[in-house]
Amino acid sequence: MIEYVTPFFRPPSEHKSFILQATIGCSHNNCTYCAMYRKKTQKFRVRPMSEIKEIIDTASRNGLLERRVFIADGNALVLSTAKLIEIMNYLDEKSLGLERITMYANVGDILRKSIEDLILLRENGLGMVYIGFESGDDVVLERIKKGANFSETVEASRKLKASGIINSVMVLLGIGGKDRSREHALATGKLLTECDPEYVGALSLQLRPGAPIYEQWKEGLFELPDKFQMIEELETIVENTELSDSYFYSNHISNYLPVRARFPQEKGRVLKEIKEVLKTRDEASLRPDYYRDVVNQY
Ligand code: SF4
């Protein structure tokens, strides 16, 4: 039996992947909006290699290593290159040939690796990493304790491109609060343009008990933009984002307005859709709050 430390998380697009929990928790665990790894049992640690291999053996025996593997938890790229290669080679040995291996990564994890290391990881199976950019605004990034600024994020993205690892990034509507809403959206569009990732997912901030920002909100220190302000942010981000050949989504469950577009060819179409919603301000065209599992939006 495979024992997971719970709760564990994976991107929605990894719902069919086998989740290999090689690390527990997140080595950063400091972002103010994040409540994912706050339990004592989730304190950051690396599983011993013997345990990781036992999990892979069990998964293999049960036919779970068929197509895709997501290496969890919060930022498995924190592991040394040698360790990751050993894990991926063992996965390769025990599977019938995997389509792809992916994981979450922090900007700092990427910057700490050389391009040669990243190329080695790609050659040994790492196809894509998911990074939470959240914002391009350095004031916001500092406030939310993201641990990476605009220029570091651009540098990490360039290293990924140079190594051939696909970059799937998340940005967070509402994370600038009401006071930095416009700056957040403008700088986020600029950051996405400079980084030119292959995938962009825009999510909307949800205030979760356990996350420091939730306490700030309760004390009146953080004001969450309302639903149409979040859509205005989406509009500004799309307007200011130029991507050479990418997919842009806002279809995450947290969003009021799901959009999907291939950039650059569908940018105009999606912008028109967003502008139409902002013109009519018809709530019926938005995803209902109960569906978004919202703690509080106002
Ligand atoms: S958002 Fe990501 S990097 Fe930040 S604390 Fe949560 S898991 Fe760690």
Taking the centre of ligand 1 as the mean of its atom positions, its distance from the CA of residue 178, in whole angstroms, is 22
Q: Which residues line ligand 1 (CB under 6 A)?
A: 26, 28-31, 34, 36-37, 74-75, 106, 132
Residue whose CA is closest, atom 5 of ligand 1?
Answer: 29
Q: Which residue from 24, 30, 31, 135 has its CB within 8 A of the most atoms of ligand 1, so it is best to mutate?
A: 31
Q: What is the chain's pLDDT, residue by residue, as a tens digit (298 residues)?
A: 889 999 999 999 999 999 999 999 999 999 999 999 999 999 999 999 999 999 999 999 999 998 999 999 999 999 999 999 999 999 999 998 899 999 999 999 999 999 999 999 999 999 999 999 999 999 999 999 999 999 999 999 999 999 999 999 999 999 999 999 999 999 999 999 999 999 999 999 999 999 999 999 999 999 999 999 999 999 999 999 999 999 999 988 889 899 999 999 999 999 999 999 999 998 888 888 777 654 443 3
Beta bridge partners of 18: 69
Domain ranges of the chain: 12-283
Six-digit token string for 96: 């019938």
- Work out whether strand 260-263 and strand 246-249 pair parallel, antiparallel, or are unpaired: antiparallel
Q: Which residue from 26, 27, 205 has its CB within 8 A of the most atoms of ligand 1, so it is best to mutate?
A: 26
Secondary structure, 3-state, 118-149: HHHHHHCCEEEEEEEEECCCHHHHHHCCCCCC
Is the CB of residue 196 less than 8 Å from the CB of residue 160?
no
Taking the centre of ligand 1 as the mean of its atom positions, its distance from the CA of residue 286, in whole angstroms, is 28
Residue whose CA is closest, atom 7 of ligand 1?
Answer: 74
User: From CA 53, how far away is CA 30, in angstroms rounded?
Assistant: 30
Q: What is the pLDDT of residue 294?
A: 47
Ligand 1 atom index nearest CA of 27: 8
CATH number 3.20.20.70 given to 12-283: no
Q: What is the pLDDT of residue 292?
A: 67
Q: What is the pLDDT of residue 144?
A: 98
Taking the centre of ligand 1 as the mean of its atom positions, its distance from the CA of residue 141, in whole angstroms, is 13
User: From CA 213, how far away is CA 254, in angstroms rounded?
Assistant: 17
Six-digit token string for 187: 């700088």
Is the CB of residue 240 less than 8 Å from the CB of residue 215?
no
Name the percent of the chain lying above pLDDT 70: 97
Six-digit token string for 220: 């009146």
The pTM of the full predicted model, rounded to 2 decimals, is 0.95
- The position carrying tokens 């700056």 is 183
Q: How many other C-beta atoms lie within 10 A of the C-beta of residue 293?
A: 10
Q: What is the pLDDT of residue 296?
A: 41
Six-digit token string for 155: 């540098």
- The position carrying tokens 């957040």 is 184
- The position carrying tokens 């990894």 is 14
What digits encode the pLDDT tens for the residues 187-225? 999 999 999 999 999 999 999 999 999 999 999 999 999
For the chain, report the end-to-end CA distance as a whole number of angstroms: 44
Q: What is the pLDDT of residue 297?
A: 36
Is the CB of residue 259 less than 8 Å from the CB of residue 251?
yes
